Structure 1
C-alpha cells in the first residue's frame, strides 16, 4: 500500500472556495467516489469525492479554510481494489447544489445500506441536531442559511426535486412569517434578552410598560427587522423661506393660527411626492406587487405625555399653507387631549418627524411600515455659507430621509431629496 496525496480538483474557476463540511477523519477507510469535504463558493456548494480507495492517513484542511485547485486535502494509503460500480455511493444528480445525500449536511431520501456504501455507512456522521433528520432533504447551502436565521427545517415546505428543500423555500417561509407579524420566530438568538439583576448594583425602580409602549416597541422591532432601511442626509438653505414665513405672521395671527415651519415642509413634501410617486406607494403583503396611491396623506409625529402619536393630514397637496397650519393645530390638540379617532391615524402615505426643538444635526427615523419612506427634520442652524465670493450667514435645515431599499434605490432617494430641497430653498416653486 502506497501513500498518495489527494488534491483539490478543478472547481471551474480561479476563485477559492470555503470548506464548510468535513466527511472523513484520519483512519477512515474510503472507496473511490466517497465524499471527503464540502466546499462552498459564491455560486454553489459541492462535495469533493475521493479519487482513490484506501485509508486516510492525515487530513490537511479544516472547517473555514479557503482552498483552490491543487491544494492538498488529505494523505491516503492506497489499497488496490478491482473497479466495481456496485460499491459506489448513490449520487443525487438532480440536486441543485451537487450534494450527495449521505454527507453531514444532506440527509438521504433513502437511507444507505451497508451493501451500497461499505465502511462509511457504519461510521457515525456529524449532524445538525436542530435541523437534521432522516426525513429532511436539503443541501449545505440551505442548511447554513437556516442555521443563520435560526429556522428549523422541519417547519419548511419543500418544493425541490424529490421533496428537496431549496433556498426559495426558506425565502418563502421568511416572507410568510414577516407578513404574519411573527418576526420573533426569525433569528431568535438576535432577539434574546439577558436577564440581569441590576438590584445587586444599587437601588432600582421597576414599572410595567403601558399597553401603548408595548405596542410601540413591538411595532418598531417588526419594522426594523422586516425592512432593509437606508438613510440619506441633506442640508437645505431655508433663509428665504424663513423670511417669507415671518412676513405672514400678522395674517396668521389674524386667523388665530400659529404658522410654524411644518406646514411649509408638508406642502413641499406633497409636491415632491407628486413628482416621485414611489415614495408614497406601498409594497403588497406578498412582496410581489407595488401599490401606487393617487392621494397624498402625510402623517406628522406629535409628542404627547403618553408618547409619540402620528395623526394623518389628508389630501395635503390640495390645501393651502393656512389650511395645513390650522389642521395641524387641531390634530395636535386632539393628540394631547387623547381625542383622536381611528380615521385620524390611518391611511398615511408618508411620515414626517420633526425633532428640531430637541437639537441635534441628524438622526435615523424608523420607517412606519407599510409606508416606504419617512422624513426626519433636525434643528435649524445659522451657518456661514459661501455665496457671491464671500461668506454669508444662512439658515440651514438638516433633512434625514429613511427609505425601504427593497423598492427605492439611492439614486431615487437622492432625486427626492433634491426635489424637496429645491422647493424649500425657493418657495415660489411650490406654485408651479
Structure 2
C-alpha cells in the first residue's frame, strides 16, 4: 500500500521551508523515523524524520524547492517494507487479501479513498475565498466580522504593527494568514504611500547583461527571510544611532591575564560575553530599553526577562542565537554558551527555540574591523548594540600622554520608545562598566 508523507507542522508561523538536502533517493528502503531530508526554515536547518517504513516510491520535490506545510513530499510503498518470510505464507496472505478486497471492501475502499477528497477540498476552497469576499461584508457589519484565519502568533504580530488582518489575503494552506503576509502587507502600504510623502516602489532593474557578463544566484531561504525582516525593521522603526568610545584598557589586561591562566581548555572569555553581561545590568536599570511597543493599544510591553540575541556570521548567512535568562548567568557561563551556540550556527544545527524570544541584540564586528556602523534594530525589539574594533589611542591621564585601548560602540534605537538622552545615558553607563572591570565583576 502506498502512503503519502506530507510535510508536518514545523513550528508556529512557519508555513513553508526550503529543501536544503535530500538524504534518500527513490528506491531506497527506509525505517520508521529515519531522516529523509534537511529543510531550511527562516533561521535554521532541520532534519525531517519520516514516521513510515517502506520503500521510497517517489520524491515530489528537489533540492532548492520550497515546500508548504501539508504538501506531499514522499510517496512510500509500505508493503515493500514487510519482513521477508516463507514465500508460500506471503503468497497466501496476498491471495487472502486480494480475495477479501474482491469480495466487498473494494467499493468501500473506493469510497474511503475518493470520498474524503471533495470533503477536504470544500473547506479549503471556502477559506481561500474568505479574504476576498469578507471586506464587502465588513463594510455593513464591522462589529460582526468572523475572526480572520490566522494563528495566535500572527495575530500578536499584526497587533504590534497596527494591522487589521481582515485586510490581508492569506497565502498559507487554506487561505491561512502567516507572518510573511503581514510583513508583505506593511511593506506594500509603505511603498504605495508616495502621495502622502511615504516611500515609493523601487523602479525595475535594468538589463545588466547589456553592460557585461552576469550571473544570477538564488538567495537561500535564510537570506530571503533576513532581507524581509531587515526591510520591515527599517521601514517600521524610526532609527537613531548613538556612538561612543569605551576605555577597555584595564579590562583587556584582566581578560588576557585570565585567559593565560585558564589553560587551552578553559573558557574563552570574549568581549562580546563581557559586554552582554554589562548590557543586562543596564537593562535592569533602564527597563524601557528591554521592551516592545504595541502601537495598536498604545502600550509599552516591559519584559521582565533578559534574553540577549548575539549576531553570528556564518557561510550560510547571518543568524542570531539567543542567550536565555542572561541575568542569571555569570560571564563564564555566558561565554561558554556563546561558544556552543556559535559552533552550532556554523554547522547549521541551531533549532528555532535557540533563536526566539530575544529582548535586546548585540552584534560585534571587532574581529573584522571598522570604526563605527549603524546596526538595524531587530523588530520588535527597540535597541541593538554594535561593537567595532578596539584601537590604541593617545589620551591625557593626570597631565601625561598615555596610550589607551578604546572600543567604538554604536547603539541603534527606536526613537518612539527611547529618546536621545536615554540612549546617551545607556552608552555612557556601558562605557563606565567596561572601564572598571572590578565594578563589573562585582555585580556578576
TM > 0.5 between the two? yes
Conserved 8 A contact 1:252-1:259: no
Relative to structure 1, the CA distance from residue 285 to residue 343 in structure 2 (aligned partners, 3 Å threshold; closer, same or farther) is farther
Q: Deviations over 1:177-233 (max 9, x none)?
A: 799322222233623232201111111111111111111111111110000110000
- Counting only pairs closer than 5 Å after superposition, residues 127-276 of structure 1 correspond to structure 2 as 175-176=162-163, 180-181=182-183, 182=185, 183-188=187-192, 190-253=200-263, 255-276=265-286
- Counting only pairs closer than 5 Å after superposition, residues 80-119 of structure 1 correspond to structure 2 as none
Cα displacement (A) at 1:261: 1.3
| Match of residue 392, structure 2, among 366, 369, 382 | 382
Question: Unpaired segments of 5 or more residues in structure 1?
Answer: 1-153, 158-171
**Higher gyration radius (CA):** 1
Conserved 8 A contact 2:242-2:411: yes
SS of 2:412 mapped into structure 1? strand
Conserved 8 A contact 2:322-2:356: yes
SS of 2:304 mapped into structure 1? coil
| Match of residue 310, structure 2, among 283, 291, 300 | 300
Cα displacement (A) at 1:369: 0.5
Conserved 8 A contact 2:246-2:408: yes
Cα displacement (A) at 1:364: 0.4
SS of 1:324 mapped into structure 2? helix
Q: Deviations over 1:281-302 (max 9, x none)?
A: 1112625111111111100000
The alignment's C-alpha RMSD in Å is 2.3
Greater share of helix residues, 1 or 2? 2
- Counting only pairs closer than 5 Å after superposition, residues 15-94 of structure 1 correspond to structure 2 as none
CA distance in structure 2 between the partners assigned to 1:193 and 1:329 by the alignment: 43
Question: Unpaired segments of 5 or more residues in structure 2?
Answer: 1-135, 140-158, 166-178, 193-198
SS of 1:202 mapped into structure 2? coil
SS of 2:217 mapped into structure 1? coil
Relative to structure 1, the CA distance from residue 177 to residue 381 in structure 2 (aligned partners, 3 Å threshold; closer, same or farther) is farther
| Match of residue 352, structure 1, among 353, 362, 365 | 362
Conserved 8 A contact 1:252-1:322: no
| Match of residue 326, structure 1, among 328, 336, 357 | 336
CA distance in structure 2 between the partners assigned to 1:241 and 1:295 by the alignment: 27
TM-score normalized with structure 1 length: 0.58
CA distance in structure 2 between the partners assigned to 1:329 and 1:299 by the alignment: 13
CA distance in structure 2 between the partners assigned to 1:251 and 1:294 by the alignment: 37
CA distance in structure 2 between the partners assigned to 1:206 and 1:255 by the alignment: 44
SS of 1:258 mapped into structure 2? coil
Relative contact order (C-alpha < 8 Å, sep 6+): which is higher? 2
Conserved 8 A contact 2:388-2:408: yes
Relative to structure 1, the CA distance from residue 402 to residue 353 in structure 2 (aligned partners, 3 Å threshold; closer, same or farther) is same
How many residues are treated as equivalent by the alignment? 264
Counterpart for residue 410 of structure 1? 420
Cα displacement (A) at 1:318: 1.6
TM-score normalized with structure 2 length: 0.56
Conserved 8 A contact 2:190-2:235: no
Counterpart for residue 347 of structure 2? 337
Counterpart for residue 314 of structure 1? 324
CA distance in structure 2 between the partners assigned to 1:287 and 1:384 by the alignment: 50
Counterpart for residue 174 of structure 2? none
CA distance in structure 1 between the partners assigned to 2:265 and 2:326 by the alignment: 20
